[in-house]
Amino acid sequence: MNILLKSVKILDPSNPGLHTKKRDILIKDGKIEKIAVKIDAENKITTIAKRNLHVSPGWFDGAVNFGEPGFEERETIANGLSTAAKSGFTDVVLNTGTNPVPDGSPDIAFLKNAGKGRATNLHPLGSLTVKSEGRDLAELYDMKNAGAIGFYDFKKPLSNGNLLKIALQYVQGFDGLVYSFPLDTQIAGKGNVNEGEVSTKLGLKGIPSLAEELQIVRDLFILEYTGGRLHIPTISTANSVKLISDAKRKGLNVSCSTAVHNLWHTDDTLKDFDSDYKTTPPLRNEKDIRALIKGVKDGTIDFVVTDHMPMNIERKKVEFDHAAYGTIGLESAFGALNSIFGAEATVDILTRGREYYALEKPEIKEGAMASISLFDPDETYIFAQEHINSTSKNSIFLNSELKGKVYGIINNGQLIF
């Protein structure tokens, strides 16, 4: 497909020669052929011209769930990747929250094959342990060779510290990336929201910040002993940011992420007992949000993820204590981040992270393959059901005022607009 983008504003901080400039961009057979102030349209070319159209290198989401296999009623891989494309993402990392979990090379091959031919690239994780049960390491080397870009027992903390030690030592032979979900289950107990004033008022069982931070301290001590690469996903507390910042200053090879909704909502939203606000880690308080935002800005938090987790209505519309965790987040991610950080910083945030998985970072330059996100950063709207493309509708951002409209992507020779 040949495409001409007319008078688009380029946001690409890594390319100072084009950053914030308005240009025409000609794309032929999936490659950027020409960038100029004015390019005349040719015959048989798709021309896109919209007021205030912006473009940037394609966005990256380091944590999504699609359900398939096993939970197709929540989301299929096909519709999940379509939703990601419409939300501006050219690359997504697929978590291991499926049934069965991907703990062998055939499982990774299935996921890679299911994502073939799509506009958005799918990069699967493999489970760290067999069946994600936390007892025996899975076939990490075989899964790496099959295309797994990291190893994670999705949302399941590894209680066996020795197993984490062995995993970090083992993967150094092939530069593998080990995930450890930050939660001490004994400290968390039966809690399901942030422990604090709100949980006390509502009579809900709380999860103290200590439950996250204690696990991080343990994991960082183990990493210091073993070496290797450790990723701590979706941190949520102010002290977690400090712990990881201190570890990085010591030279430890640790990375971390936080979820978009943990930058936006506090546990005050729980007052109506709406289970769409039930997430893991839980929504925290204003102090935590301020620290997380600062951590994103200064680079302590390496990248922000949607933590997109579709959940069928039967699992959400029940008593709060029995409701499933999770919220969808792809469709609302840009609008939320842009509202917090502004357009240029948001583009920087959404293009971070590929380096931790040895994925090529796209560029907007002549001769490069086109991997581009298209958006208008200035349109303000109330996020509603009509903006949801996911099969499941459990969005924590419903009725939130967001800033920034996404049009789609150009990637893998395809236009989703």
Residues catalogued as catalytic: 307
Residue 196: Cβ-neighbour burial (10 angstroms; 0-12, 13-18, 19+)? middle
SS3 content of the chain, % helix, strand, coil (to 5): 35, 25, 45
Angle at CA 152, nearest 5°, toward 150 and 154? Answer: 140
Rounded to whole angstroms, the Cα distance separating 161 from 167 reads: 10
How many angstroms separate the most distant Cα atoms in the chain? 67
- Token pair of 359 as six digits: 């994925």
H helix intervals, 3-120: 77-86, 105-114
Amino acid at 385: Q
Rounded to whole angstroms, the Cα distance separating 245 from 241 reads: 6
Omega before 100 within 30 of 0, i.e. cis: yes
* Paired sense of beta strands 254-259 and 230-232, if any: parallel
H helix intervals, 89-176: 105-114, 140-146, 161-170
The contacts found for 11-17 with CB under 8 angstroms, 24 or more apart, are: 11/54, 11/55, 11/56, 11/343, 11/344, 11/347, 12/56, 12/57, 12/347, 12/363, 12/364, 13/344, 13/347, 13/348, 14/57, 14/351, 14/361, 14/363, 15/363, 15/364, 15/365
Whether the CB-CB separation of 180 and 157 falls below 8 Å is answered with yes
Rounded to whole angstroms, the Cα distance separating 46 from 40 reads: 12
CA neighbor of 73 nearest in space, from 395, 396, 399, 394: 394
- Token pair of 380 as six digits: 């303000």
